[in-house]
Structure 1
């Protein structure tokens, strides 16, 4: 397939390419439609992939407690990579944590200090394995009415190392800056302390432990299964998907994707509202069947 070719119809199996054994897909703006629903076509494509022996991983920036949008469509493995790689959860067991790759609190505090200096007006939220908490000026999370409100320094305080719930993500929001400019500023100021990315159309950054990303955690999960990058097809639409799309042997930017995502992917599909993931998954299934019948 040519670089960034838009996939609109089935293609014949390519014997030189390894068979796809795992599909890794982002959720918002990718698998989900803008109303956060899954189309019947997408549901059918995911089920067909599992029947064809292709595992499906949901790989998202969402926390585990926001996975109800796909929980009814999890098949054999039941696993999801959440919080941009900071957590692996079992959706068959009510989001039980199977792996946590935390942002250590001293590093998080250093990031807060650096961003307060580099981008005055930044407000923060702290995502723990137990829920989210945020500063007074941070846009409220209406889905989390139990959140506490305090300064980031107080939210990140713990009596002794390991005494409090792990931090899986720090969020930083700026009311005025351009989103990409905010990301560049943050990486310059504190990129040596943590991993920075974004998935929102607003100036909202998602901050994980250094080296933690969708890609690095997906690679760990694949290694446990003996699956190589060449055997993975990945889908995404925003900068937090770039490392994953660059790592996977085959990767598809959505028709609605950020320009940097389009540049990172090896292929392109239609928009999320046009079942772009299902379009490609159907082709992958047809390819696998053609190889078996050859």
Structure 2
């Protein structure tokens, strides 16, 4: 859904950026200036207690003064963005729900672009995982809130949830027309997280995009082609920003495509092994202000 109310396509896939390498295997220095910083939140910008450190607040403010946009790119829904909304300064833009929604935090969390998961595709995923992974429980993330099955792990942040079978939550008349399905969530109590993700992609990858950001076997399921990377690429193209001018930070598998697309990417020291394997640049962990440290170095170089 663009600002004019239209729902945009969910099938674009950005091409991974091929970074030049030095002999030591490190990314070559950025040839031009950095124009945009794209950072994940949980496990990346936020400390484990979900706070934003004073150092990080100062680094974000300094980047904004230097004319560098900062996009928060997260699996969180828009209603959970209050954790950073006080620190967004002039830009105020967040890519939420793994790319399904672009939100203007300075206009009351208004959704300015939407890339929903089709209801019938979600139904296909539910049917496939019921067979492939018995014991799976589901939740649906709408623009209006989260609703889930009785077996789904309790979610204390969503006290107004409707609790019923996924097939009923996804029925044609289950929600009002002005609401949209951002993502489907699937949880399994026994299967390991990485095994569950691989199984789901093999079983139902023709219907939707699968990723994960939780340490548990919790899958986040979006429309085909929807990811942090594809929505970030769209936002950058609208602003005339190339991948080479983007620095990205992340720690979990749902960050992998974004880290591959951006010209300059950093894995947190606390990142998932797959993220560490896919990126050659590192910064310190989220509790040691790793994002702030890199921003400070960028600003020192560009000023």
Equivalent residue, structure 1, for 2:119: 105
Which position in structure 1 is the counterpart of 2:136? 122
Name 1:285's counterpart in structure 2. 299
Displacement, 1:266?
3.6
Q: TM-score w.r.t. structure 2 length?
A: 0.90
CA-based RMSD: 1.7
* Pair 1:3–1:59, CA change in 2 (3 A): farther
Which stretch has the larger CA shift, 33-42 or 261-270?
A: 261-270
1:64 — aligned with what? 78
The residue number in structure 1 matching 2:3 is: none
Deviations 1:216-268, CA, capped at 9 Å, x for gaps: 00000000100000100000000000000000000000000011111222411
Q: Deviations over 1:72-97 (max 9, x none)?
A: 00111211000000000010112111
Take 1:4 and 1:182, find their aligned partners in 2: how far apart are those partners?
Answer: 32
Could you tell me whether the CA contact under 8 Å between 2:74 and 2:95 is conserved in 1? Answer: yes
Q: What secondary structure is seen at the aligned counterpart in 2 of 1:73? A: coil
- Closer, same or farther: CA 86–25 of 1 in aligned 2, 3 Å: same
**Contact 2:168–2:174 (CA<8 Å) still a contact in 1?**
no
- Contact 1:4 1:265 (C-alpha < 8 Å) held by counterparts: no
Query: For the residues of structure 2 that align with 1:161 and 1:135, how far apart are their CA atoms?
Result: 16
Q: Does 2:88 correspond to 1:88?
A: no
Other-structure match for 1:21? 35
Residue among 228, 233, 239 paired with 2:253: 239
Residue 89 of structure 2 aligns with which residue?
75
Instruction: Show the counterpart of 1:249.
Output: 263
Corresponding residue of 2:206: 192
Per-residue deviation, 1:17? 1.4
- In 2, the alpha carbon distance for the partners of 1:234 and 1:125 equals 29
Query: Do the aligned partners of 1:18 and 1:231 also contact (CA within 8 Å) in 2?
Result: yes
Using the TM superposition, give the Cα deviation of residue 162 of structure 1 relative to its aligned residue in structure 2, in angstroms. Answer: 8.2
SS in 2 for 1:140: coil
Deviation at 1:133, TM superposition (A): 0.1
Query: How many angstroms apart in 2 are the aligned matches of 1:286 and 1:266?
Result: 22
Any gaps of 5 or more consecutive residues in structure 2?
Answer: 1-21
CA distance in structure 2 between the aligned counterparts of 1:187 and 1:17, rounded to whole angstroms: 37
For structure 1, which runs of at least 5 residues remain unmatched after alignment? Answer: 6-12, 290-294
Structure 2 match to 1:8: none
